[in-house]
Amino acid sequence: MAIGINHYHIRQNALNRFISGYGDWNEDHSQFLSKDIYVDENDVLRCSPDFDISRDFGQIYTLLNNYDNLRDIYHEKMRYYKGDHGNIRTRTYNDPTGANANDDRNRVVVNMPKNLVNTFTGYTNGIAPKITYSDNPSADGEPDAGSRAVNDDLAVLFSRSRFNDVMFEWSKQASIHGRSYCLAYLNSRGQLKLTFKSPENAFVVYSNSNDSKPMFAVDFNRVQGAYYGTVHTTDFDYQFNNGDVKKAQSSVGFENSVIGHQGRVSNPFKMIPLIEMAQNDEREGVFDDVISLIDSMDNTMSAKIDDVDYFRAAILYIAGVAELTPEQKETIRKWHIFQIPDTVMMTENATQKFDVHYLDKPDGDNVQENAIKHLTHQVYDTAQVTNMNDPDFANSTASGVSLDKKMQPMQMMAAIKFRKMEAAVQDLLFLIYAYNNGEARSYDKADEMVRDTTIQFTPNVPHDTLQESQIVKNLNGIVSLDQLLSYLSSVKSIPDEMARIKKQQAANQAKFANTPSGDGPVGPENESDSQGDDDSEDEGRDS
């Protein structure tokens, strides 16, 4: 049975509403989205290995409609990242006396989700990854001509697709949603390009076998309830519109409707071109399990601003003085001054007591400040993201050792992300190598090329260039040249740097080859020796 339409609304107000696993809410680990496709406890869509969507396109309609439940959660995650926090949006104040029932109060947003995501993604992807193919390197570690050609092709593709930006957004979307996708496609000129896709607008269905093979994928847009997109299979891409989706359950059928308006085209890659990057196996984003703390932070800050508004509109208490005239009230409101006339103070009842003061509200500022401090610490501590804005962080990172200790929690989480990113990039490279600009390579050869490709991710932290140079100096002659260059953060492209080194070496060899041969190089120390020999010869002739 598919997930109910109201299932999302049941968990919408739950404190852990972002955590993956729909089935666990119904005491079942998996729920069917359509007749043959279900979602597991980590929100991964699965089907049997022998399922063929092209034989039952009628399930696309049901699948898209029930995927909306997951899509709503992904959408709310993005709203939180952008600063539209659903919990604080509906904040109201209910006066127990009923005098000010449902009186609107301040709704202050502390956008910690954006800070968490940007800090973590900047750490993992602030420096572009180094992707280098090297097959049969020479004795000095240089790639051969074939490897250079492959690296040149990759450089052209990455430049055409602005891959550094695609890679950053691919990773950032995964940090927000727990997963994201990279789509390979051919542009209008038949050139391979890459772009990123949010899980709000794309999904992949995997087999439930051990290899978890991608069976098919869908990337789509939903505009005012209408669907437009593409179903990707290994053989064909089916481009559909809302009319095709509606005909999926009619006698015409989805496939016949698509083919009728020539919406079926051959898949040039012969594999699923939508590649997933998972934040982790559970598909949890950076702020999924701290969302209740973030909501509490918004409420606490809003209450604090409420107190500021209260003191700005404080109540003036007056006793023992005649009732104020409208003019006196306006004077107090405008000038914030209340003066008691002498006639009141010097009457025969001079002993009459009068009192004028503003009513004080209990000051909870210290309590609120402590709550904000503890909530902030708990958010960053639980999310395992270093708070770069913390003054204590800046004051305690004078040495590299203390910096490593402060960054260790984020380094541990980044190590998981690096492995997931490497796996995703390897899947992408397999598609690129197998496609080979339209001249298909065998899968075995493409797989071999992936193994010969080095993918290096560099954390974006302050670098000690002196320490890097010492590492290179100590390892010189022990490891290959390209490995040495990988330790230098200033080197942006290892193949380009190796080419420059080779060019410089060739220039030096040519320079010294044109130097006249002699007993040895002429230097200051040799000049003195030569001069001494000349003096001795002169003395011999004189004698």
Task: Please state, in angstroms and rounded to a whole number, the distance separating the CA atoms of residues 236 and 306.
Answer: 59
Terminal C-alpha separation, the chain: 119
* pLDDT of amino acid 515: 66
**Dihedral, 424, 427, 429, 435 alpha carbons, nearest 10:** -140
**What pLDDT is recorded for position 492?**
75
Could you tell me the two tokens for 26? Answer: 């119904």
β-strand partners of 476? 479
User: How would you class 458 by CB atoms within 10 Å of its CB: exposed for 0-12, middle for 13-18, buried for 19 or more?
Assistant: middle
Among 264, 302, 253, CA closest to 110:
302
Indicate the pLDDT class of residue 431, thresholds 50, 70 and 90.
very high
The secondary structure of 387-433 as a DSSP string is: -TT-HHHHHT-SSHHHHHHHHHHHHHHHHHHHHHHHHHHHHHHHHHH
pLDDT of 325 reads 82
H or E, element range at 357 = strand 355-358
Give mean pLDDT, residues 212-235: 94
Q: How far apart are CA 60 and CA 53, in angstroms?
A: 8
For the cut 80, the answer to whether the pLDDT of residue 259 exceeds it is no
Q: Within the chain, how many helices (H) and strands (E) appear?
A: 19, 17
Looking at residue 15, its pLDDT comes to 55
Percent over 70 (pLDDT), the chain:
76
- How are beta strands 214-223 and 202-207 bridged, if at all? antiparallel
In this predicted structure, the answer to whether residue 11 has a pLDDT above a threshold of 80 is no
Please say if the pLDDT value at position 158 is more than 80. Answer: yes
Mean pLDDT of 63-79: 92
pLDDT tens track for 326-361 = 887 787 767 666 666 655 554 555 555 677 777 666
Position 340 scores a pLDDT of 67
Q: Taking the model in full, what pTM does it have?
A: 0.76
The tokens of 91 are what?
A: 């904040």
Average per-residue pLDDT in the chain? Answer: 82
Q: Which residues contact 87 (CB under 8 A, 6 or more apart)?
A: 295, 298, 299
Of 133-137, 202-206, 219-223, highest mean pLDDT: 202-206
Q: Report pLDDT for 410.
A: 94
Tokens of 259: 């083919």
pLDDT digits (tens, 9 = 90+) for 495-519: 888 888 888 888 888 888 776 655 5
Tell me the pLDDT band of 531, cut-offs 50, 70 and 90.
very low
Q: How confident is the model at residue 526 (pLDDT cuts 50, 70, 90)?
A: very low
Predicted confidence at residue 397, as pLDDT, reads 53
Mean pLDDT of 400-405: 67
Q: pLDDT for 122-157, tens place per residue?
A: 999 999 999 999 887 665 666 788 899 999 999 999
- Six-digit token string for 364: 């909870």
User: Among 87-101, 123-137, 203-217, 524-538, which stretch is predicted with the lowest mean pLDDT?
Assistant: 524-538
Task: Tell me which DSSP letter residue 515 carries.
Answer: S
Q: How far is CA 203 from CA 9, 272, 469, in A?
A: 22, 11, 45
Query: How is residue 247 annotated by DSSP?
Result: G
What are the C-alpha distances in Å from 154 to residues 194, 256, 350, 488? 12, 39, 96, 22
Alpha-carbon distance of 349 to 226, in angstroms, equals 82
- Band the pLDDT of 256: cuts 50, 70, 90: confident
Which of the four pLDDT bands, split at 50, 70 and 90, describes residue 466? confident
| Main-chain phi, psi angles of 429, to 5 degrees | -65, -35
Mean local confidence (pLDDT), 232-252: 82
Residue 170 above 90 pLDDT? yes
Q: What percent of the chain has pLDDT over 90?
A: 45
Q: Are 274 and 219 in contact (CB under 8 A)?
A: yes
Section 448-468 average pLDDT: 87
Mean pLDDT in residue range 445-453: 96
- Give the pLDDT score at 528: 45
Q: Which of 20-34, 257-271, 391-405, 435-449 has the highest mean pLDDT?
A: 435-449
